[in-house]
Amino acid sequence: MPTVAMTVNAKSVSGEVETRTLLVEFVRDQLRLTGTHVGCDTSQCGACVVHVDGRAVKSCTMLAVQCDGASVTTIEGLAANGELHPMQAAFREHHGLQCGFCTPGMIMSAVDIVNRLGVPSEETIREELEGNICRCTGYHNIVKAIGAGARVMNGGT
């Protein structure tokens, strides 16, 4: 079995994997970082979104071996020095989550949206969330939370 080595949440990790092992399986089963979730088997739901080299990626759609040498951030690595990331804080403040299962992927996607687009309009946020499914919130408060998180990430309050 091949060995992969990567940086996950600023820590160097390595492990033996089957070539067919998905990134999400490596993260969840081998690294025991269970914040990243699997909600479907067709790359649709987005519960598994992580950042690979700064880009949002569905970790169910990438092989672990493809990430050899990459820098991966999961939901567990988003808060820095015990401080919630502004997007995490916004989700809490605006009740952007209920059961919490889609939330890690939602937040990782949201951070990526803001990194790419600054402070997007409500319409843009809704379009950008095409790859993340939530069954609880009707998206109403997720959209609000992302707007609020975007403003804080861009220097607002």
Partner 1 sequence: MTATGIGAAVPRKEDKRFITGAGHYTDDMNRPGQAYAYFVRSPYAHAWVKGIDARSALAVDGVLSVLTGENLAADSIGGLPAGWAITSKDGSPMVTPPHPCLAQGKVRYVGDPVAVVIAETQKAARDGGDALSVDYEILDAVTETGQAQTASVRVHDEAPRNTAFEWEIGDKAATDAAFAAAKHVTTIDIVNNRLVPNAIEPRAALGEFDPGTDSFTLYTTSQNPHVARLVMSAFLNIAPEHKLRVIAPDVGGGFGSKIYVYPEETVCVWASRKVGRPVKWTAERSESFLSDAHGRDHITHAELALDERGKFLGFRVKTVANLGGYASLFATGVPTYLYATLLSGQYDIPAIHAEVDAVYTNTTPVDAYRGAGRPEATFVIERIVEVAAREMGVDPATLRKRNFVKKFPHQTPVIMLYDAGDYGASLAKAMELIDYKGFAKRRRKSAKNGKLRGIGFSTYIEACGIAPSQAVGSLGAGVGLWESAEVRVNPTGNVEVLTGSHSHGQGHETTFAQLVSDRLGIPIDQVEIVHGDTDKVQFGMGTYGSRSGAVGMSAIDRALDKVIDKAKKVASHLMEADPGDIEFKEGSFTVAGTDKSMAWAEVSLNAYTAHGISTAELEPGLKEGAFYDPTNFTFPAGCHICEVEIDEDTGVTEIVDYVAVDDFGTVINPMIVEGQVHGGVAQGVGQALIENAVYDESGQLVSGSYMDYGMPRADDLPSFRLGFTMTECPSNPLGIKGCGEAGAIAAPAAVINAITDALGHEDISMPATPQKVWQAVRSHRFAEAAE
Question: Which residues contribute to the site for partner 1 (CB under 8 A)?
Answer: 18, 20, 28, 33-42, 44-45, 47, 74-76, 78-79, 84, 88, 91-93, 95, 97-104, 107, 122-123, 125-127, 129-130, 132-143
Closest CB to partner 1 among residues 74, 114: 74
Report how far apart the first and last C-alpha atoms of the chain are (Å, whole number): 49
Closest CB to partner 1 among residues 114, 129: 129
Q: Is residue 75 a contact partner of residue 108, using CB atoms and an 8 Å limit? A: yes
Closest CB to partner 1 among residues 5, 99: 99
Q: Residue 67 CB, nearest distance to partner 1 (Å)?
A: 18
Closest CB to partner 1 among residues 69, 140: 140
Q: Residue 111 CB, nearest distance to partner 1 (Å)?
A: 12
